[in-house]
Amino acid sequence: MPVRAKPFSAAEIRTIFGRRKVSGALGNRILSVLHGRRLSGTLDLDLPADITSTVPQSTLDAGLKWLRTNYPIDEDAAILARIEREELEEEQRLIRRAEELGLYKPQSGSFGAERSEEDGVWGKSILKNIRRRNEARLLAEEEQRRKEWLEGEQREREALQRQIQQNTSLQKFEGSAVVDARPRADPKERPVLAWAQKHYLRAMDNDYSKLSEMTTSRRLVPALIVTLITLGLCYIYAESYQPPQRSDRMWPNVYPAAATAIAMIGINVGICILWKCWPPSWRMLNRYFISVPVYPHPLSLVGSIFSHQTFKHLAVNMTMLWFIGTRLHDEIGRGSFIAVYLACGVVGSMASLTAHVLLGKLMVTSLGASGALTGLIAAWCMLHADDKLTFFFLPPEWRDTFSAPGWVALTGIVTLEVLGLLSPFPALRVASLDYYAHLGGYLTGALWAVAWKAERAKKQKENRPWLEKVFYRE
């Protein structure tokens, strides 16, 4: 905004800005911009680039000082007027926006105001209208998802049948668990069942098109690597484990063997409850807590030894863990006990996976602590190979009759397992037993016990006095 109608001459510009080199045209532009900013209350905003890039701040300060001296105005009032103007413009913008959205309407009691649904004078509720629209939209989306859920069963069945026709690896399993024929539940009528079915399908969402690429080596080599790593870690753990002081234990008043067994039973019970009661966990459990030869996950060799899908299976195995495991724990200590448990379980799982893959039984599933428990039984029997073993629940007068040395008892147990595995008569074979995992556990536990006894004898010999060593050699 020009300061006056007639521009300032070059001599006046030199007088205003002093010895600073400012041309007449630039001086008039600086004064008009500064004067306009004073009147509009916008001195705090940045000046045009052609001014700030040409003259220093001291020149601008000199021009502003001259204007305030010769053309005084109330700059504070101009700033307040600018704030009020901006607030009014913002309010008008919001009103226009509200009118566009249909939210701004005449208030009740004024001309043109709409009455409420109940014919009240307070007017219609815009928020109620918005909520009705949102509820209708959500219901429509839910109905669309329900429709897609019910119609998706046939589409998935057709897609799976196409995969079976294209993949020779799946054709012989068409009548098995690959095709699930159970109809889908309507979410409106049976919401809990539909919720469980959705998680079931999500858990069973395997890419069967890749099964043709799964060779025997791709199924077994990663699992073998995990087995070897687990055995190495078990050895390191058993050798480096140091029992904590009683004050440092989590349950200081519980006997160590009982505390270990309770902790392991708790893990098994927790995973069984997830299988039974929490469908969102099924996808994770299918990957890492059950061994399936058709599409094996290597880490499932470890997870499956803590996994049970029925309470009967869980109860049998945990009972064996309590009565056999606590006794073995007392004799060898916690570090060796946990290492033996894991090693026998993983080797048993690897033996089961290898046997089923080589025999072509790719849809057989395997889980449970049986392989680990058979290893504990074999270790106990071999540690007491020459001791008479009997059943603790027999009356005292019968225990001598029904007793045998540890190696005889183990031989008998393994013989029954082998007969059950090789028997041509289905009546003599229990279909639910994983004989290969059991035999892998027996072998691992027996080998460990032999090595542990040899190591213990070596340490005892090294700890004898030198004189006893001489007589011992003689």
Beta bridge partners of 366: 291
Contact partners, residue 399, CB within 8 Å, separation at least 6: 390, 391
Q: Taking a C-beta distance cutoff of 8 angstroms, is the pair 367, 289 a contact?
A: yes
How many degrees, rounded to 5, is the angle at CA 62 between CA 59 and CA 65?
150
Amino acid identity at 295: Y
Annotated catalytic residue, options 35, 297, 329, 438: 438
Annotated catalytic residue, options 297, 352, 370, 384: 370
Cα–Cα distance measured from residue 355 to residue 352, given in angstroms and rounded to the nearest whole number: 5
User: What residue spans of 102-190 are helical by DSSP H?
Assistant: 126-166, 168-171
Active site annotation includes 313: no
Cα–Cα distance measured from residue 201 to residue 199, given in angstroms and rounded to the nearest whole number: 5
b/e for 150-188, b at 16 or more Cβ within 10 A?
eeebeeeeeebeeebeebeebeebeeeebeeeeebbebe
Cα–Cα distance measured from residue 376 to residue 449, given in angstroms and rounded to the nearest whole number: 9
Nearest Cα residue to 314 out of 278, 266, 377: 266
DSSP output for 313-339: HHHHHHHHIIIIIHHHHHHH-HHHHHH
Q: Taking a C-beta distance cutoff of 8 angstroms, is the pair 252, 314 a contact?
A: no
Q: Taking a C-beta distance cutoff of 8 angstroms, is the pair 240, 348 a contact?
A: no
Active site annotation includes 438: yes
- Both tokens of 197, joined, read 């079915």
b/e for 251-277, b at 16 or more Cβ within 10 A?
eeeeebbebbbeebbeebbebbebbee
C-alpha gyration radius of the chain: 43
- Both tokens of 294, joined, read 């058709």
Residues known to be catalytic:
370, 438
